[in-house]
Structure 1
Amino acid sequence: MAMLPRNEYPRPQFQRALWMNLNGEWDFGFEDGNFTHQINVPFAYQSELSGIGDSSFHDVVWYKRTFALPAEMAGRRILLHFGAVDYRATVWVNGSLVGFHEGGHVPFHLDITAVLQDGENEVIVQAEDPSDALDQPRGKQYWKEKSESIFYIRTTGIWQTVWLEAVSETHLERVKLTPDIDHDEIAVEYWVANLQRGDALHVEISFDGNLVAQETVHLQEANSQRRIRLQDFNVHDAGRLWAPEHPNLYDIQFRVVRGDLVLDEVNGYFGMRKIAIEQGKVFLNNRPYYMKLVLDQGYFPDGILTPPSDEAIRRDVELTKEMGFNGARKHQKIEDPRYLYWADRLGLLVWGEMANAYTYSDQAVRRMTAEWQAAVERDYNHPCIVAWVPINESWGVPRLLADSRQQAHCMAMYYLTKSLDPTRPVISNDGWEHTKSDLLTIHDYESRKEQLKERYSTLDNILNSTPGNRLLYAPGHVYGGEPIQVTEFGGIAFKKSDWEGWGYSGASDEQDFAARYHAVISALLESPLVQGFCYTQLTDVEQEINGLLTYDRQPKIDLALIRQINEGKGLE
């Protein structure tokens, strides 16, 4: 089986030198546990890049491979990392059970030091992914065998990088970085494992290779916080702030030391960036900011949820920017950290969204809240993330209008997210039937410009509208002056490849497509009240042909023309 490597560092904001990638060929089997196939990890068996390409139901799958530790990793604690395994994973190393994890979109790691042996070691993973479990967070993964409507092929088992990491007994577990541009400070919260008296944490911050701050913290507690003043730029000067137009990043290095001995060294980065809502407007770095987003499902024809390469991830970000968008709403997918890295590096706003379940139950609530907390924790430090979306279009709370429990859950997700991250806006139910949200976000697939212009011309017209025949607010909740954005619209179908499919409206040729795109974009740009939009969508996906690009990322019309329209310059 031909192997396509995915060898890039999987956690770019928290890097150590001693690590080993376990992607590549693994033995693989279906329900009975017989390893009759080989699979290319981290691609799910349903994908072509896995080497299997079988989209039929298999609710239990098995993986096995051996590895030998490099000499430089010997004598340290060894952590086995999984970027994501959908949906439940049980892991054995050398025949010993080492751990279990539930949650198909977030990372986990296991300390396997105690069970390792000299020479070859064997790891076995069982993944369980009930195909039709509607109370399981699944996003766009369909619960039927054949894709249809807005739902796509499932992703079962390992679908992000598997890797080993060597750490000292005393090491940095995680950090939480909170920029404060108003005081020119970065707040550093840290967690240190197996802290001993006299240990210290040394922090160095640099910009463009030049040291701007350093501090040594004499550790008294395993978890604490320190604010570090940068003292390197005028906060009113955008020269070193992060934004899509100038994605400036600071490098940060952490070293845990014991006397002259360096126990742990971690390298990362952060951006000095502020997203806020003031006087009913969205502000980026204390200035009003119009968000021009594109809906991005994050699917690939040969990898499904797993991008085929790091270059493909970067290219998606570059294409988005080339078309004049300054952001993306990652739809019903907790995206690979490598995507967030390139969004940080190249400058693209990202709305982070939970992959929702479809039915409501106590178990669905437990599963969603646990996985969402892990997602917010994983992605908190990325400057590109500027909003959180725990629920989309009442998915998982289908009786929100009539069921007080489901309303309470929707509000609870808003407040839970704010308790974890008070620095970013939270949209508790994107699209309609809002309870408590920091923005009023509306999904509206009206294709006629005059109707859109009229609807978004006055506040009364907006609040009395029911796009898709859905109320904007759930009972007991009313508009409170929040910024208004239209976060799904367009969806113009245009067939430019061999794919057959559908969209919310249709174009007959390139000229018609451009005219239809101009009609819906210009209607929103001309609104005195709309402060941002999210166009549906970046690419065709399976049976949907409503992308600006085909499924294999070929432009349907000139990208410069799309950019021109997005900038409000018309079709001339």
Structure 2
Amino acid sequence: MRVRNLKLLASTLLLSGMTAPPALAQIQGDLDQTGPVIHETDLMTSWGRAVTAQNAWRSYPRPQMVRSQWLNLNGQWDYAIAKDAAGKPSAAQGKILVPFAVESRLSGVRKPLMPDDRLWYSRSFTVPSDWSGQNVLLHFGAVDYAAEVWVNGALVGSHKGGFTPFKFDVTHYLKPGDNTLEVRVADPTSEGSQARGKQALNPHGIWYTPVSGIWQTVWLEPVPALHIAEVRAVPDIDKGRLDVEVALSGEARDGDAVRLTARAGGKVIATRIVRAGRHAALDIPDAHLWSPDDPYLYDLVAELVTVEPPLGGEDKEAAAQRRKIRFTEKEAQAYAALTPRGGARDTVKSYFAMRKISIGRGPVEGQPAMLLNNKPLFQNGVLDQGWWPDGLLTPPSEEAMRSDIVFLKKAGFNMLRKHIKIEPAQYYADADRLGILIWQDMPMAGREGQFVVGASQSQAVFSSEDMAQQQFELSSMIGHLRAFPSIVTWVVDNEGWGQYDSRTLARFVKGMDPSRLVDADSGWLDVAADSSDLRDIHTYEEVPNRPGRDSARAIAIGEYGGIGLPMREHLWRPGERNWGYQSATDAADYQARYRQKFAEIVRQAKEEGLSAAVYTQTTDVEDEINGLLTYDRAKSKIPAEEFAKLAAPLYAPQKR
């Protein structure tokens, strides 16, 4: 939202009979008010009505690193809410359906969690008997915000960060038969400086209902004591190879090796053995490139195997010789020639795509463009908030989550900007398979006084502790998601919300993942021009503004649109506080306004060298009615086919 247009927006919306979005200062100031207010809406999705304790999020939660054995712990847990000073409650207050946040309807609770409250969870579980002799990992997909975890009364660990997965090895805390799992959660929401996205204690306008506690799958997994912890695969289409790094859970010996196997359509196309803890490269001849029109994926299997160490065996002299060639081509060749002894000790199944995202020559002379696989491709996207009326941050089901991408593809979009939220991992696997590009935002952080505004000339100041936490969560996001080829851009900051030292953060992100683009500042204070791949403006005018030309960066409109059209049977709060950046009176008016905006996007793409545009937004969200779809996903404001017809000129071949 642009500050200089707020009065115009307000007057326009009031004249049209809609409630205007409050001025930015008021929006931000309201975050300090007490709450939260949990609105008990009747609005639900069709998928939400089908949710039960038996079917709630049953799919494998880590699609990029699959093992054959696991145990889902979603379902009914005991819960209680108590003040922090009161300590652990003496008894449960009821049941909560995991993995839905305590404030959500689908949790079965729908109660607020104040900053000085603590949310307690407990349940029992039994480790399957055929896991004997293996270590047991306890995984949490996401818990907002600070979690402490006990098994059988012993503290096994703690974690801060509301959007990324974490795990604990609980092997030594387990006993035969029933085991007790307890979790304590604290969440300051908008009273803290932590990454929280769109959550606010006083939800209204562009700020939504708080999400506290467990909101993604909880699960157990058996593994060997030394096991594969991470698989990182980076394609290089120019060299026709896949660079792979496999990280282990602990110290590897000279006899530990990793065997990598790539397959296309079930046929082995490349295999290699490397010493554990080393980089590997697999040749991928005649690569089948991934794109939104052809989302082709290869299979990749990583196995931890045992080999006879090269250079003479395991005596001291041989070990000394191996130390001399560590991390050299000679070492790589020696291990590549070895044959494993026995079967694999650990096996994970993954996949990859051969695709490249870069900045290069575009169709308009002197204006660089975003390239996919070395060719210009206009990225026609939507701002995708990923909120649901019944599950809040948690989609009601895997099918529901997938349906948004299916709709966007049908409507002619080839990109979405995942807006200051991190989805369950299954979402990104769906994007990989369905074929849609993703700009992934870092969920915003900061208190109200740390929000930079449109007229600001400097960035916010954070404590060293807060910066360290933000950078930990930023690196956790990249580490968690960089295996998914659909993600092509990391967005570090949105509209100055907690913006600090953008240049350093952009360089940090590029250093972690040089294979993708970095958008340092989406909208407003552009202070990292030498570290950002994009010049990205936000424009909610009736006819979108154009970004200024940039000889070094691609230009993009990171947000535009925002046409509001209320559909009375599908509102979060019928008759109250519903607003859009602009107001349409009916579907015909909506389409005319959309056509006017989109025609300017097409013009800028053809004549100005615009590389991407992001329409606000996929769905209505709570009081916002800016969506292409209603909040319950039951209605499209106009048919998907009409959106697709308007988008067609963007994909017509262009001369270079």
TM-score when normalising by structure 2: 0.78
1:178 is aligned, of 234, 239, 254, to 234
Provide the C-alpha distance between the structure 1 equivalents of 2:511 and 2:594, rounded to a whole number of angstroms: 39
1:275 and 2:378 matched: no
Gaps of 5+ in 2: 1-50, 307-340, 362-367, 451-460, 651-656
Provide the C-alpha distance between the structure 2 equivalents of 1:228 and 1:348, rounded to a whole number of angstroms: 26
* SS of equivalent residue, structure 1 residue 522: helix
2:304 is aligned, of 256, 262, 265, to 256
**What is the one-letter code of the residue matched to 1:375?**
M
Which of the pair has the greater relative contact order for Cα pairs under 8 Å at 6+ separation? 2
> Contact 1:347–1:384 at 8 Å: present in 2 too?
yes
Larger Rg: 2
Provide the C-alpha distance between the structure 2 equivalents of 1:168 and 1:261, rounded to a whole number of angstroms: 13
**What is the one-letter code of the residue matched to 1:82?**
F
Provide the C-alpha distance between the structure 1 equivalents of 2:281 and 2:189, rounded to a whole number of angstroms: 47
Backbone CA RMSD of aligned residues: 1.7
> Contact 1:356–1:368 at 8 Å: present in 2 too?
no
Provide the C-alpha distance between the structure 1 equivalents of 2:105 and 2:231, rounded to a whole number of angstroms: 37
Gaps of 5+ in 1: 398-405, 464-478
Provide the C-alpha distance between the structure 2 equivalents of 1:286 and 1:126, rounded to a whole number of angstroms: 49
Counterpart in 2 of 1:494? 565
1:94 and 2:94 matched: no
> Contact 1:522–1:568 at 8 Å: present in 2 too?
no
**What is the one-letter code of the residue matched to 1:521?**
F
**What is the one-letter code of the residue matched to 2:462?**
S
* SS of equivalent residue, structure 1 residue 387: strand
* SS of equivalent residue, structure 1 residue 563: helix
> Contact 2:113–2:119 at 8 Å: present in 1 too?
no
Deviations 1:167-196 (A, max 9, x none): 011211111110001111000011123423
1:302 and 2:390 matched: yes
Counterpart in 1 of 2:445? 357
1:14 and 2:62 matched: no
Matches within 5 A, 1:458-473: 462=548
Counterpart in 2 of 1:484? 555
Matches within 5 A, 1:158-197: 158-194=214-250, 195-197=252-254
Counterpart in 2 of 1:203? 260
1:562 is aligned, of 608, 625, 643, to 643
Comparing 254-263 and 114-123, the one that deviates more = 254-263
Counterpart in 2 of 1:379? 481
Provide the C-alpha distance between the structure 2 equivalents of 1:255 and 1:482, rounded to a whole number of angstroms: 41
Provide the C-alpha distance between the structure 1 equivalents of 2:131 and 2:382, rounded to a whole number of angstroms: 43
* SS of equivalent residue, structure 1 residue 90: strand
Comparing 50-59 and 113-122, the one that deviates more = 50-59
Provide the C-alpha distance between the structure 1 equivalents of 2:277 and 2:508, rounded to a whole number of angstroms: 21
Matches within 5 A, 1:346-425: 346-358=434-446, 359=450, 360-362=461-463, 363-397=465-499, 406=500, 409-425=501-517
Counterpart in 2 of 1:216? 273
Counterpart in 1 of 2:136? 78
1:40 and 2:97 matched: yes
Provide the C-alpha distance between the structure 1 equivalents of 2:568 and 2:113, rounded to a whole number of angstroms: 25
1:243 is aligned, of 291, 296, 300, to 291
Deviations 1:246-295 (A, max 9, x none): 00000011111222032101001011010000131111001011000111
Provide the C-alpha distance between the structure 2 equivalents of 1:66 and 1:196, rounded to a whole number of angstroms: 37
TM-score when normalising by structure 1: 0.89
> Contact 2:113–2:187 at 8 Å: present in 1 too?
no
Provide the C-alpha distance between the structure 1 equivalents of 2:621 and 2:77, rounded to a whole number of angstroms: 28
Deviations 1:452-495 (A, max 9, x none): 4xx43xx7xx36xxxxxxxxxxxxxxx55311111100100001
Counterpart in 2 of 1:229? 283
Provide the C-alpha distance between the structure 2 equivalents of 1:213 and 1:111, rounded to a whole number of angstroms: 33
> Contact 1:357–1:364 at 8 Å: present in 2 too?
no
> Contact 2:114–2:187 at 8 Å: present in 1 too?
no
* SS of equivalent residue, structure 2 residue 520: coil
Provide the C-alpha distance between the structure 2 equivalents of 1:536 and 1:364, rounded to a whole number of angstroms: 30
Provide the C-alpha distance between the structure 2 equivalents of 1:132 and 1:533, rounded to a whole number of angstroms: 30
* SS of equivalent residue, structure 1 residue 26: strand
Matches within 5 A, 1:408-557: 409-436=501-528, 437-448=532-543, 452=544, 455-456=545-546, 462=548, 479-498=550-569, 499=571, 500=574, 501-527=578-604, 528-529=607-608, 530-553=610-633, 554-557=635-638
Counterpart in 2 of 1:468? none
Provide the C-alpha distance between the structure 1 equivalents of 2:428 and 2:63, rounded to a whole number of angstroms: 9
Provide the C-alpha distance between the structure 2 equivalents of 1:103 and 1:508, rounded to a whole number of angstroms: 42
